[in-house]
C-alpha cells in the first residue's frame, strides 16, 4: 500500500468501482495514473465510454478522494487491498475478460496462492440433500488440503463454508458487497468467522451495499479462483448456472451432484451432466480427476 500508484488506484476505485476492462483505455495512456486528475473531461468520457456529465462527477470525486488516507483506514479495519499489479493478486483472475481492479481481503491472504482450490455452489433454497452431499464431498477434499471456495449466499454456499469450518478445513468466501455491509444478514456471524480465521474477498470498496447485479459479477471471481466447481442443487434458470458459464469460458472442470428426478433443484445438475459435467457423489471422485 506504500506506492503512490496504489493510492491513486484506490482513490479511483473508490469512486469508480468497475472491472479492469473498463479502465484499460485510461491505463494505456496513463499507466501510473499520474495525470488522471488533469485529463480533460471529454477525453475521460471517451475513454470510459460514459456521458461527459458523469465523467465530470467522477473526476471531481477522484480529486477529493485523493485526500482520503486509505492506508490508515483500511489497516484500522484489517482490510488488505490487493491491486491487479500486486504480486499476490491471483494470476488466474487475469484470464478473465474483466478482472477485478482491486481485491479487498480480510483474513489469511496466503490462501489466494494455495494451489488447490475447489468451488462449491448451489441454490439459495438448497435442501437437506445438499447437506448430505456435502458431508460426502467435503471431507476427502479437506483431507487432501483443498481450499473450499464459495459465495457466502444463504443455502448451499453457507452450507459449504460451514461444513468446511466444522471439519477443520479452510475456506474462501467471495462476497457481492463491501465489508461494511454483510450480506445476507443471516450469515453475518459466519462472515465474521471467515474473516477472522479464513479469507473473505470482495471486489467492492467497503462502503458498497449489496446490489443484485453485484452477484453475477461475484460469480466470475469464484470461478476464476478455482480449478473446478461442484454444483449440489440448482434450478435450470439460476445464478448458480451463471457461475458455470464463467467456468466453461475458462476451461474449468465442472462437477455436478445427481439428485432426485422429482426435484426442481436437481434439474440444474442433471442438465450439466447431460452437457458433459462429471457426476460426483463423494470428494474422492473429484480428487481422482487431478491425479491423472
At 249 the pLDDT is: 77
Residue 254 to residues 43, 152, 212, 242: CA-CA distances in angstroms?
A: 43, 20, 25, 13
The verdict on residue 88 lying in a domain is no
pLDDT in tens, the chain (292 residues): 458 999 999 999 999 999 999 999 999 999 999 999 999 999 999 999 999 999 999 999 999 999 999 999 999 999 999 999 999 999 999 999 999 999 999 999 999 999 999 999 999 999 999 999 999 999 999 999 999 999 999 999 999 999 999 999 999 999 999 999 999 999 999 999 999 999 999 999 999 999 888 888 899 999 999 999 999 999 988 777 777 877 787 788 999 999 999 999 999 999 999 999 999 999 999 999 988 6
Q: Give 89's DSSP letter.
A: S
The verdict on residue 40 lying in a domain is yes
115 in the same domain as 51: no
Q: With contact defined as beta carbons under 8 Å apart, do 266 and 234 qualify?
A: no
At 292 the pLDDT is: 61
Q: With contact defined as beta carbons under 8 Å apart, do 82 and 2 qualify?
A: no
253 in the same domain as 143: yes
Q: Is 274 helix (H, G, I), strand (E, B) or coil?
A: helix
User: Count of domains in the chain?
Assistant: 2
Nearest to 277 by CA among 260, 262, 243, 291: 243
202 in the same domain as 142: yes
Count of C-beta atoms within a 10 Å radius of residue 262: 6
Residue 160: which CATH number? Answer: 3.40.50.450
Q: Give 210's DSSP letter.
A: P
123 in the same domain as 51: no
Q: Give 188's DSSP letter.
A: H
Distance between CA atoms of residues 93 and 107, nearest Å: 19
207 in the same domain as 275: yes
Residue at which a domain ends, from 76, 95, 128: 76
Residue at which a domain ends, from 76, 100, 117: 76
Distance between CA atoms of residues 81 and 129, nearest Å: 37
Give this prediction's pTM: 0.94
The verdict on residue 98 lying in a domain is no
Residue at which a domain ends, from 76, 98, 133: 76
At 2 the pLDDT is: 52
Q: Which domain holds residue 26?
A: 4-76
Rg (CA), the chain: 20
The verdict on residue 81 lying in a domain is no
Amino acid at each position: 500500500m506504500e506506492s503512490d500508484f496504489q493510492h491513486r488506484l484506490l482513490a479511483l476505485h473508490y469512486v469508480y468501482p468497475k472491472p479492469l476492462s473498463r479502465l484499460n483505455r485510461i491505463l494505456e495512456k496513463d499507466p501510473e495514473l499520474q495525470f488522471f486528475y488533469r485529463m480533460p473531461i471529454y477525453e475521460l468520457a471517451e475513454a470510459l465510454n460514459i456521458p461527459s456529465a458523469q465523467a465530470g462527477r467522477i473526476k471531481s470525486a477522484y480529486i477529493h478522494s485523493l485526500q482520503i488516507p486509505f492506508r490508515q483506514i483500511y489497516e484500522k479495519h484489517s482490510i488488505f487491498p490487493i491491486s491487479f499489479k500486486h504480486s499476490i493478486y491471483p494470476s488466474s483472475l487475469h484470464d478473465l475478460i474483466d478482472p477485478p481492479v482491486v481485491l479487498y481481503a480480510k483474513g489469511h491472504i496466503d490462501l489466494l496462492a494455495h494451489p488447490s482450490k475447489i468451488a462449491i455452489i448451489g441454490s439459495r433454497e438448497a435442501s437437506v440433500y445438499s447437506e448430505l452431499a456435502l458431508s460426502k464431498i467435503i471431507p476427502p477434499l479437506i483431507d487432501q488440503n483443498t481450499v473450499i471456495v464459495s459465495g457466502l449466499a444463504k443455502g448451499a454456499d453457507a452450507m459449504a463454508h460451514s461444513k468446511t469450518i466444522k471439519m477443520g478445513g479452510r475456506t474462501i468466501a467471495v462476497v457481492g458487497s463491501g465489508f461494511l455491509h454483510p450480506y445476507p444478514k443471516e450469515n453475518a456471524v459466519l462472515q465474521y468467522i471467515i474473516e477472522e480465521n479464513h479469507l473473505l474477498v470482495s471486489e467492492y470498496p467497503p462502503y458498497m451495499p449489496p446490489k443484485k447485479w453485484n452477484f453475477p459479477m461475484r460469480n466470475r471471481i469464484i470461478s476464476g479462483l478455482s480449478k473446478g466447481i461442484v454444483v449440489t442443487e440448482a434450478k435450470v434458470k439460476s445464478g448458480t448456472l451463471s457461475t458455470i458459464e464463467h467456468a466453461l469460458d475458462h476451461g474449468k472442470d465442472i462437477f455436478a451432484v445427481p439428485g432426485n428426478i422429482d426435484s426442481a433443484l436437481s434439474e440444474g445438475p442433471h442438465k450439466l451432466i447431460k452437457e458433459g459435467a462429471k457426476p460426483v457423489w463423494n470428494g474422492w471422485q473429484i480428487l481422482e480427476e487431478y491425479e491423472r
